[in-house]
Amino acid sequence: MQWSGEEGIEVVPLPAAGSYRQYFRITGQLKNAIGVYNPDKEENKAFLGFTNHFLSQGLHVPTVYAVDETNDCYLLSDLGDLSLLQKLENGRKNGIPDTETIGLYKMAIAELPRFQVEAGLRLDYNLCYPAKEFDARSMRWDLNYFKYYFLRLLKIPFNEYALENDFDRLILYLLRAGSSGFMYRDFQARNILINEGKPWFIDYQGGRRGPLQYDLASLLFQVKAALPFDYREEMLYLYLDCLSKYQKVDRESFINYYYGFVLIRLLQVMGAYGYRGYFERRAHFLQSIPFAIENVKWWLENVKLEPELPELMKALKAIAVSDVRTSFSAPEEGLTISVNSFSYKNGSPPDYTGNGGGFVFDCRALPNPGRYEHYKSFTGKDATVIQFFEREPLVDKFISNVFKLVDQSVLEYMKRGFSSLQVNFGCTGGQHRSVYCTEKLAHYLEEKYSIHVTVYHTELDKHWL
């Protein structure tokens, strides 16, 4: 290895978590490192840029040993395998964390304002990917993830129009909290490693400017951690004490918004568990769903938000009394059609069903609104982009031909008792054309057939986890 001056003796792949990055432990005679392969160049740029900045601020993040941009690889210092979550699980007795683990949680919480405020003030937010800020659209993606991959899979009845109105009210309320610092985005015990008795921090590449409450909610209401609720409140006030060293804090206002962000984080996580567990067949995500339900029950019993959210509350109450293990134990009976958008830069989404068939449609020959400045900040789900496509005869002809081809397979699959069919739409960035076509086909299939249809926008949804 060029960095170490010695050959690697052993290369061991590390278990994958919720991302598609690949990690390897590389061991040499005297030195060792963690090798990372990630074909997403923009995400790599964000991680490496953030890491260098955090290191300059004296924060406990891995050291970057070497970078190979051409091959999308880099080497990091090896911080070991023990995460704060594992430490919590190993040291818990009768549901209560041991004193050492609680001490580590408090150390991590004391470091959080340093990331958010102290380092966040000097951070180059142009590095952020896929978005510079946790804005209304980011919140909408999280809420739709919950709607499509949890509510619908669980067959919880809801009025979609009323639910969208609740989403609007919740988003407007949370936006009032402001975006006053760096939002780590995935600040949870799984991403905090324990090395030499101290917490070290990883997986912040999805960070962006955002509300301070979100990260604290992510840590204290992490589903699998199942922290006792009195501990969560104690650490909330500890965080406020630590934050007050860096800026003036209106505690009452902070806490009010904090429980709103607890809610949106819980919804996002349930959507992620539904997708990862049900469609990707990753059992540990399904096993975490009952813990998420316990958080929902506590929230319903103890929190009263300022905005009225009647349809969402009705859905959450139905979740609280449902038998999720039965609902998620097996795929939907009959035919399930997975309709997905993707970017050709990053490749089409894998087929986890084992079916191996389906369609991949190339949308790059269609008119591209992404070439015009007005449309760059929108997606194929937004009204202004939809109107652009509806004015283009070539788009209508393309979609009509897609409908005919897919119809033929759907009818044959249903007749022969097949259980799954995948349809993918690709374009350059996975933002406009492929998203629009995915939404059009999904709506068409839901209206025409009595089948189960799922929608996944690879580029829009990839950072929800």
Where in the sequence is the domain holding 190, given as residue range(s)?
A: 84-327
- Of the chain, the percentage scoring pLDDT greater than 70 comes to 93
If asked whether residues 153 and 175 sit together in one domain, one would say yes
If asked whether residues 161 and 246 sit together in one domain, one would say yes
CA–CA gap between residue 356 and residue 60 (Å, rounded): 44
If asked whether residues 410 and 429 sit together in one domain, one would say yes
If asked whether residues 137 and 243 sit together in one domain, one would say yes
Among 47, 37, 59, CA closest to 205: 47
pLDDT in tens, 114-123: 999 999 999 9
Q: Which residues contact 176 (CB under 8 A, 6 or more apart)?
A: 257
Q: Where does the pLDDT of residue 28 fall: very low under 50, low under 70, confident under 90, or very high at 90 and above?
A: confident
Is residue 324 helix, strand or coil?
A: helix
Provide the β-strand partners of residue 96: 93
Give the CA count within 13 Å in the CB-facing half-sphere of 256: 14
The answer on pLDDT for 16 being more than 90 is no
CA–CA gap between residue 320 and residue 305 (Å, rounded): 18
pLDDT at 324: 60
Segment among 5-9, 214-218, 332-336 with least mean pLDDT: 332-336
Q: CATH no. for residue 214?
A: 3.90.1200.10
Say if 19 falls within a structural domain.
yes
Counting the structural domains of the chain, the total is 3
Q: Which residues contact 247 (CB under 8 A, 6 or more apart)?
A: 117, 180
pLDDT in tens, 279-298: 666 656 777 888 889 999 99
C-beta separation of 386 from 380 below 8 A? yes
C-beta separation of 335 from 413 below 8 A? yes
CA–CA gap between residue 41 and residue 428 (Å, rounded): 15
Mean pLDDT of all residues in the chain?
90
The torsion angles phi and psi of 76, rounded to 5 degrees, stand at -125, 160
If asked whether residues 59 and 101 sit together in one domain, one would say no
Place of tokens 């300059």: 56
Say if 1 falls within a structural domain.
no
CA–CA gap between residue 419 and residue 403 (Å, rounded): 19
